[in-house]
Structure 1
Amino acid sequence: MRAAFCGSFDPPTLGHLDIIERASTLFDELIVLVATNSSKSSMFSMEQRLAWLREACQDLPNVTCKIQKGLIVQACQEHEIHVLVRGIRNEQDCAYEQNMAFMNAYLDPNIETICLFTKPEYDLFSSSNVRELLKYHQNIQPFVPACVFKSLEKERT
């Protein structure tokens, strides 16, 4: 069975990578889709985020990373995906994901949403927090995959 994990990944965090790794053990194929979040402005290009995800997931043979255009439902239909994987850190995420699952099911009743709870050590990891740390030149190494850290450190020097 094929599933999708969609997000803006601006930038990818260790929390994202944990969900990807765990979901990859549950499905034959996992497609990670880099999407535009219309309610946020991105710090990094979609191509950069895609490159980081591909590097971070290179040891996961059943994971493919792609850029998503349009709604997640349209991407699922295009790739014949019937399961969306989502990560939940807290109550706010739960309410948001419940609403998104309802809307996606309304648009396509063949799509099921499965939520994985974040491991406690990643509860506070968010791309927004990482972007804020970057803005003030703080250390992001504990929050992001090594490839993201190395790339951003290289840009600083």
Structure 2
Amino acid sequence: MKRAIYPGTFDPITVGHMDIVRRACTIFDEIVIAVAESRAKKPMFSQAERIAFARAATKDLPKVRVVGFESLLVTLAEELDSNIIIRGLRAVSDFEYELQMGYANASLKKDLETIYLMPSLEHAFVSSSVVRTILHFGGKVDHLLPPQVHRMILEGEKR
């Protein structure tokens, strides 16, 4: 079975992330969305909320499961018995960082492969940071988020 890990902060998970997940489902037997704690990034949403968002967004994708993690990615890969990491590349600016991380991970786990997928053109500009900025100013984000996630965020704001 080919199990691939799609790690990230997913703060929150976007339509761009979902584009990558859906396409990865056509390539691999199982996709594990690994939601990083990422305290250093000071996420807008808690890890529990981000996991709930990812689970809601992927509930109709039987090949997908969602886990949280606070370890090195290579440690998680060993725990999940996977040697494949999926990363999305939106622009050239992503490439340098992703290449560096891919090499660092490979130096820690020799058989770890990183597969880079580009989002569809219509989602190339979408990022969690763009969504967070728009949310901060009360702007419209429904076109940038899976509908379930958008509803969950709106419900959270009402509390």
Give the TM-score band, short-chain normalised: over 0.9
SS at match of 1:142: coil
Over the aligned positions, Cα root-mean-square deviation in angstroms equals: 1.1
Larger displacement relative to structure 2 (57-66 or 32-41): 32-41
Instruction: Name the TM-score, length of structure 1 as normaliser.
Output: 0.96
Aligned to 1:10: 11
Pair 1:31-2:32 in alignment: yes
Give per-residue Cα distances to partners, 1:12-54, cap 9 Å, x unaligned: 1000011011111111111110013354111001111111111
Query: Which residue does the alignment assign to 1:119?
Result: 120
Aligned positions, number: 157
Gaps of 5+ in 2: none
Secondary structure of 1:66's counterpart equals: strand
Tell me how far 1:119 sits from its aligned partner. 1.0
Q: Which residue of 2 aligns with 1:91?
A: 92
Q: 1:152 & 1:61 partners in 2: Cα distance?
A: 24
TM-score under structure 2 length normalisation: 0.95
**Cα distance in 2 for residues equivalent to 1:136 and 1:125:** 17
1:4-153 matches, within 5 Å, as 4-37=5-38, 39-153=40-154
Separation (CA, whole Å) in 2 of partners of 1:99 and 1:119:
24
Q: Distance in 1 between matches of 2:70 and 2:38?
A: 11
In structure 2, do the counterparts of structure 1 residues 144 and 119 end up closer, same or farther at CA, with 3 Å as the change threshold?
Answer: same
Q: How far 1:59 sits from its partner (Å)?
A: 1.0
Instruction: Quote how far apart the aligned CAs of 1:120 are.
Output: 0.8
Structure 1: gaps spanning 5 or more residues: none
1:84-135: CA deviations, max 9, x gaps?
0110000111111110110000010110000001111111101011111111
Mapped to 1, the partners of 2:32 and 2:155 lie a distance apart of 29
Residues 74 and 109 in structure 2, CA contact (< 8 A), matched pair in contact too: yes
For the residue of structure 2 that corresponds to 1:33, the secondary structure is strand
Identical columns (%): 36
